[in-house]
């Protein structure tokens, strides 16, 4: 199943559950001066969670463009990390809560995406007995596959009660895909919280019910909310059965053009693969930043982008590229040879912007 199909299936599934399909916010948050970049689907709905928003619906679904640089050093080295990625989500502003969220998530994974149930495990926040029981009694997940973790793993933002940030937060329940014993640490007792690659976290269901204020005080919000997040590239990797996010259909044209530009094989030395993955990630991040109006600069957002650009150029140099190469990446629109942004717009179901093919 192509990445585009997963994106569409998700949005349509929640539309059938009476959600409004709402556009992604810009990477430059339109409604939150505390953030440099949009890093989660819920950012644009913060006021709705706080009971101060003016949207006229209580259920929404989005595919949000996200930029996170906290894990920048892992990009390319691990199967999953990105700076820029797309996050699918469904949201409730005082409408449904845990039962529907959990049941719909399972329905989507098992019935729409046809993931075998026995490959899935879940986790709940330590004392969230309600979610535990929904997973066990209503969905039928065996006890052995329901894990209880603390604030680091099962609270969003992670560790928020102790460390912040202030704002809407709550316990969460995560769903993991088991890649099997042959992947990762190989320990019999390996479980989703293990740092190895065996369990891929595919969906985070956040029950946003508190407002954190100074000193770690958690005040119940005016109503209970839901904020879920599923990394699209990661889900595509699971569904397409490939080793890393960079092997999925929307990344392989970028990797392929890097092979052509550099004449270096992606499947050759691992160090080369890491450089190529990092270039693919960073160039894509820069393209989306620029399309949202952020230009490379010396401070703020522009500085972040400049850093991404410089890292990608450095990696290109290490692969032996001497000339300017970004413009050539992914330039394979059959009709007009358009560059990467046009291709991604075409991939999102729109026409290639250059030739309207
Ligand atoms: N806000 C949560 C996350 O980013 C769920 O969408 O993981």
By three-state DSSP, how is residue 338 classified? coil
Grade residue 227 by pLDDT with cuts at 50, 70 and 90: very high
State whether 87 and 173 are in the same domain: yes
Is residue 48, in this structure, part of any structural domain at all?
Answer: yes
Probe residue for ligand 1, chosen from 87, 230, 232 as the CB with the greatest number of ligand atoms within 8 Å: 87
* Residue 315 falls in which region: left (phi positive, over 0), alpha (psi -120 to 50) or beta: alpha
Grade residue 343 by pLDDT with cuts at 50, 70 and 90: very low
State whether 223 and 140 are in the same domain: yes
State whether 41 and 137 are in the same domain: yes
The reply to whether ligand 1 has any atom less than 6 angstroms from the CB of 171 is no
Is residue 177, in this structure, part of any structural domain at all?
Answer: yes
> For position 191, which CATH number holds?
3.30.930.10
Sign of CA dihedral 90, 94, 98, 103: negative
* Nearest CA-CA partner of 342 in 291, 292, 280, 285: 291
* Nearest CA-CA partner of 319 in 287, 275, 285: 275
Would you call 73 exposed, middle or buried from its count of C-beta atoms within 10 A (0-12, 13-18, 19+)?
A: exposed
Is residue 78, in this structure, part of any structural domain at all?
Answer: yes
Distance CA 47, CA 115 (A): 35
Is residue 355, in this structure, part of any structural domain at all?
Answer: no
| CA-closest residue to ligand 1 atom 5 | 229
Sign of CA dihedral 297, 299, 300, 303: positive
Q: For 145-154, what is the mean pLDDT?
A: 97
State whether 306 and 188 are in the same domain: no
State whether 235 and 131 are in the same domain: yes
The DSSP code sequence of 234-266 is HHHHHHHT-SSGGGSTTTHHHHHHHHHHH---T
The reply to whether ligand 1 has any atom less than 6 angstroms from the CB of 206 is yes
Residue 146 parent element (H or E)? strand 146-149
Residue 291 has pLDDT above 50, yes or no: yes
Distance CA 62, CA 23 (A): 6
User: Which of these three, 195, 219, 240, is where a domain ends?
Assistant: 240
When divided into structural domains, the chain yields a total of: 2
User: Which of these three, 240, 259, 280, is where a domain ends?
Assistant: 240
Distance CA 50, CA 210 (A): 9
Residue 342 has pLDDT above 90, yes or no: no
The reply to whether ligand 1 has any atom less than 6 angstroms from the CB of 156 is yes
State whether 215 and 277 are in the same domain: no
Is residue 30, in this structure, part of any structural domain at all?
Answer: yes
State whether 76 and 184 are in the same domain: yes
User: Which of these three, 240, 264, 282, is where a domain ends?
Assistant: 240
Please, which residues have CB within 8 angstroms of residue 351's CB and are 6 or more apart in sequence?
345, 357
State whether 67 and 115 are in the same domain: yes
The reply to whether ligand 1 has any atom less than 6 angstroms from the CB of 330 is no
Residue with tokens 């989500």: 89
Q: What confidence tens digit (pLDDT) does each residue in 30-40 have?
A: 988 899 999 99
Q: For 67-74, what is the mean pLDDT?
A: 96
CA of 356 to the centre of ligand 1 (A): 34
Q: Does residue 266 contact residue 273 with C-beta atoms inside 8 Å? A: yes
The DSSP code sequence of 94-140 is SS--HHHHHHHHHHIIIIIS---GGGEEEEEETT-HHHHHIIIIII-
State whether 260 and 306 are in the same domain: yes
Q: For 258-277, what is the mean pLDDT?
A: 95
Is residue 13, in this structure, part of any structural domain at all?
Answer: yes
Q: Give the strand pairing for 167-178 and 120-125.
A: antiparallel
Q: What confidence tens digit (pLDDT) does each residue in 233-263 have?
A: 999 999 999 999 999 999 998 999 899 899 9
The reply to whether ligand 1 has any atom less than 6 angstroms from the CB of 167 is no
The reply to whether ligand 1 has any atom less than 6 angstroms from the CB of 157 is no
Joined together, the tokens standing for residue 195 give 């740092």
Residue 302 parent element (H or E)? helix 300-318
The reply to whether ligand 1 has any atom less than 6 angstroms from the CB of 89 is yes
The reply to whether ligand 1 has any atom less than 6 angstroms from the CB of 228 is yes
State whether 178 and 297 are in the same domain: no
Grade residue 333 by pLDDT with cuts at 50, 70 and 90: low
By three-state DSSP, how is residue 289 classified? helix
State whether 315 and 235 are in the same domain: no
Q: Which residue range is the domain that position 336 belongs to?
A: 251-343
> Given the CA of residue 40, which atom of ligand 1 is nearest to it?
4
* Nearest CA-CA partner of 224 in 131, 91, 345, 122: 91
Q: What confidence tens digit (pLDDT) does each residue in 158-201 have?
A: 999 999 999 999 999 999 999 999 999 999 999 999 989 899 99
Residue 137 has pLDDT above 90, yes or no: yes
pLDDT value at residue 351 = 47
Is residue 127, in this structure, part of any structural domain at all?
Answer: yes
CA of 3 to the centre of ligand 1 (A): 20
The reply to whether ligand 1 has any atom less than 6 angstroms from the CB of 42 is yes
Q: Does residue 198 contact residue 176 with C-beta atoms inside 8 Å? A: no
Distance CA 231, CA 201 (A): 9
> Given the CA of residue 66, which atom of ligand 1 is nearest to it?
4
pLDDT value at residue 101 = 98
The reply to whether ligand 1 has any atom less than 6 angstroms from the CB of 258 is no
How many Cβ atoms sit within 10 Å of the Cβ of residue 116? 10
| CA-closest residue to ligand 1 atom 2 | 229
State whether 202 and 138 are in the same domain: yes
Is residue 245, in this structure, part of any structural domain at all?
Answer: no
């Amino acid at each position: 199943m192509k990445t585009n199909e997963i994106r569409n299936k998700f949005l349509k599934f929640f539309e059938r559950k009476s959600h409004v399909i709402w556009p992604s916010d810009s990477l430059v948050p339109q409604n939150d001066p505390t953030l440099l970049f949009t890093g989660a689907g819920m950012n644009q709905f913060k006021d709705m969670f706080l009971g101060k928003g003016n949207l006229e619906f209580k259920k929404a679904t989005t595919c949000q463009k996200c930029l996170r640089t906290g894990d920048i050093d892992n990009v390319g080295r691990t199967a999953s990390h990105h700076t820029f990625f797309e996050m699918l989500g469904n949201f409730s502003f005082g409408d449904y809560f845990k039962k529907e969220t959990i049941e719909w998530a399972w329905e989507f994974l098992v019935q729409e995406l046809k993931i075998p149930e026995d490959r899935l495990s879940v986790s709940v926040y330590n004392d969230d007995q309600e979610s535990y029981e929904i997973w066990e009694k209503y969905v039928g997940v065996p006890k052995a596959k329901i894990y209880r973790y603390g604030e680091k793993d099962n609270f969003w933002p992670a560790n928020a009660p102790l460390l912040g940030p202030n704002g809407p937060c709550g316990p969460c329940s995560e769903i993991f895909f088991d890649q099997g014993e042959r992947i990762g640490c190989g320990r019999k007792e390996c479980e989703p919280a293990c740092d190895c690659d065996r369990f891929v976290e595919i969906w985070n269901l956040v029950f946003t019910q508190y407002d954190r204020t100074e000193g770690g005080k958690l005040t119940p919000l005016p109503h209970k909310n839901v904020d879920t997040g599923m990394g699209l590239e990661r889900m595509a990797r699971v569904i397409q059965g490939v080793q890393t996010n960079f092997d999925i259909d929307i990344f392989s044209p970028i990797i392929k053009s890097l092979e052509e530009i550099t004449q270096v094989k992606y499947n050759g030395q691992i160090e080369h693969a890491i450089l190529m993955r990092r270039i693919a990630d960073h160039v894509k991040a820069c393209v989306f930043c620029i399309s949202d109006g952020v230009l490379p600069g010396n401070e703020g957002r522009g500085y972040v982008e400049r850093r991404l650009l410089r890292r990608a150029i450095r990696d290109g140099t290490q692969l032996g590229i001497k000339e300017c190469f970004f413009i050539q990446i992914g330039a394979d629109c059959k009709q007009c040879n358009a560059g990467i942004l046009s291709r991604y717009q075409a991939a999102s179901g729109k026409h290639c912007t250059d030739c309207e093919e």
